[in-house]
Amino acid sequence: MAEPLSLAASVAGVASVGYSIAKGLYQIADDMSVAGLEVRVYASEIDSFAKLLLHVQRTIDSLTCSAKEIAEIKTQIRDILDNCDRILKPLHDVQQALVPLLERFHDSPSKLLQVALRVRWAFVAKGKILFYRELLQRQHQMLDTHLARATLVSIQDKKDQPLVQMLHTSLENSVSALNHTIASPEFAQAQSQARLRLGFRGDVSFPSRAEEARGSFCPPSIRSGPPSRPSSTGGFARGVSESSMALVLRPPKSGPTDEPMLVGMTEQEVQSVLAATSLDIDVQTMDGMELMLNKTEEAERRTIDVVSQTLATSKKREPLHGALEYVSKTCFPCAAVPVSGSI
């Protein structure tokens, strides 16, 4: 059995993929001109996530807590990195398919505009993209939380109590946010303009993609409502809570959610555009998405547990104004305005 990669190697590998995806998406956004705003925002999110991963490694390298604590922190972070690897792979595949597509129509402004609008539509309305984006944001939230916890357990026995107080409050906020994400997924997904709806329907007949792109039919999801996944235990996929389970991502309430038509293209050109932008969710993809969702929710619950234990054993020794004085002295050393008392 092969030895697992070191945490540093895992961080470097995931961060490298993240930077590669972000670079490709920035290129796609540049090729799309003004239609590429949504893609550029997504690229920025992934780029920021990759930067966070490098900060994770630096933080772990500088920890001064016990070896047991460091091992626990590494285990928690490794689980999240495994999730990130699963999430970034399909995003990398999407990015890899879009770059040559835009290059193909670069010399035809009218066709390039149509392709750009369809790519834009895919990034704001297609369930597959929104699902992976939402899950990546949830990994980001967990990593931020573990970084704050790692810093707290490393310094809480030292004299810097104002910083301990601030980290304590930060972790309390993180636990509250994670609890809300798990208990009320629709609210959390609304923050990223997407509602998580997973599922698959295999009992409907879909028209050809070319017909769909030309707008000559009404999609089944509009004709008959959202499709439902074949029932398993209790009507839902095994291991997925009812509140987190449904079918396809509902589009945001505002934005270009109507599927753009493709006109003036050959059948071959239409098919190439559809192949890169339709982003269908088949049975195999659905199973992978369910696995990622389960793994993410498990990691969130473990994060809540370990942070709650840390908070229970970490005492807040100074009132809040001590933290404010710390910020004032650290960030504004020349300021003479007192934090409390009369001026």
Unique residue bearing structure tokens 């997924």: 185
The parent domain of residue 327 ranges over 7-191+276-331
**Quick check: 140 and 52 in contact, CB under 8 A?**
yes
> For residue 258, is it within any domain?
no
Region 31-43: mean pLDDT is 91
Q: How far is 335 from 342, CA to CA, in rounded Å?
A: 15
Residue 90 has pLDDT above 80, yes or no: yes
Residue 314 has pLDDT above 80, yes or no: no
One-character DSSP codes across 272-287: HHHHHH-----HHHHH
> For residue 309, is it within any domain?
yes
**How much is the pLDDT for 185?**
52
Percent of the residues in the chain that have a pLDDT greater than 90, as a whole number:
48
List Cα–Cα distances, 26 to 83, 255, 330, in angstroms.
24, 21, 37
What is the token pair recorded at 132?
């992976």
Structurally, the chain folds into a number of domains equal to 1
**Polymer length of the chain:** 343
What are the beta bridge partners of residue 64?
none
What is the token pair recorded at 96?
């890899």
pLDDT category, 243, cuts 50, 70, 90?
very low
Region 37-45: mean pLDDT is 94
> For residue 124, is it within any domain?
yes
One-character DSSP codes across 144-156: HHHHHHHHHHHHT
Q: Which of 156-160, 276-280, 299-303, 316-320 has the lowest mean pLDDT?
A: 316-320
> For residue 41, is it within any domain?
yes
> For residue 99, is it within any domain?
yes
Q: At what angle do helices 127-155 and 67-104 cross, to 10 degrees?
A: 150
> For residue 239, is it within any domain?
no
**How much is the pLDDT for 83?**
93
pLDDT in tens, 141-180: 999 999 999 999 888 666 777 888 899 999 999 999 999 8
> For residue 88, is it within any domain?
yes
**How much is the pLDDT for 113?**
93
